[in-house]
Amino acid sequence: MNRDYVPLSLQRRVRDRARNRCEYCGISQAFQEATFHVDHVHPRSEEGPTEYENLALACVSCSLRKGARTHALDPATGARVATYNPRHDRWNEHFAVGEDMRIVGRTPSGRATVELLSMNRTLAVAIRVEEARCGRFP
Amino acid sequence: MAANATVRIDMELPTDLARLRLPEGVDRRLQALLDKQDRGEPLNVDEAAEAEGLVELSELLTLLRLRAQGSGSSAAE
């Protein structure tokens, strides 16, 4: 695995800060099959630095869908807004978890991020339901 | 049988379903694709489809494992 551009010691600090949870959808690394990814929040393609304050832990689904994107459309208004930034924003201000374990965006940024990252795909919701049953989610 | 006939197959899930794991090499390939994207190199169409498939596979295995564990603990209650 070529992760030289994010030193392992830095990756460990990022995982510890996130308490091994995806900083976007909130799912825990425990019992997940794929290894969560350490992502640049502000993308490398836009000169985002490889430093602690610009990195976030993301599950493979959120990581793949976010990519280098920092803006997306708010499905409620069609406006292009900044997506949720785990380094600057508070999760609870932008998202809520419904009783059915679907994630609901509470702000334009939250709604755009839920949509961009496809947080409510059938498989993702089903995993959250099982995790909730075990007391590991939300 | 008509060409579009549906065949239903009932399968009993193995009791050791919780042992199904994502192979390490598959996880490493997915990490490599996410690394590439994170470095600012967009995935081509084939790579994006591969990454999407690997994410779905890992989530499916996660769900099977969680459900196997859940049904195991239910049975034990």
Chain B neighbors of A122, CB-CB under 8 A: none
| Cβ–Cβ < 8 Å for A31, A49 | no
pTM assigned to the model: 0.88
CB neighbour list of residue B30: distance below 8 Å, 6 or more residues apart: A34, A60, B51, B54, B55, B58
Give per-residue pLDDT as tens, B3-60: 567 777 665 666 666 678 899 999 999 999 999 999 989 999 999 999 999 999 999 9
Q: Under an 8 A CB cutoff, do B28 and A63 touch?
A: no
Nearest by CB to residue A3, choosing from B22, B35, B40, is B35
Q: Residue B62 and residue A40: Cα distance in Å, rounded?
A: 25
**Residue A10 clears pLDDT 60, i.e. is over it:** yes
**A2 CB near a chain B CB, below 8 Å?**
yes
Taking every pair of Cα atoms in chain A, the longest distance, rounded to a whole number of angstroms, is 42
Q: Under an 8 A CB cutoff, do A64 and B52 touch?
A: yes
Only one residue has tokens 């579009």, namely: B4
The pLDDT, as a whole number, for residue A108 is: 98
Q: Under an 8 A CB cutoff, do B34 and A60 touch?
A: yes
What's at B48, amino acid-wise?
A: A
Q: Under an 8 A CB cutoff, do B62 and A45 touch?
A: no
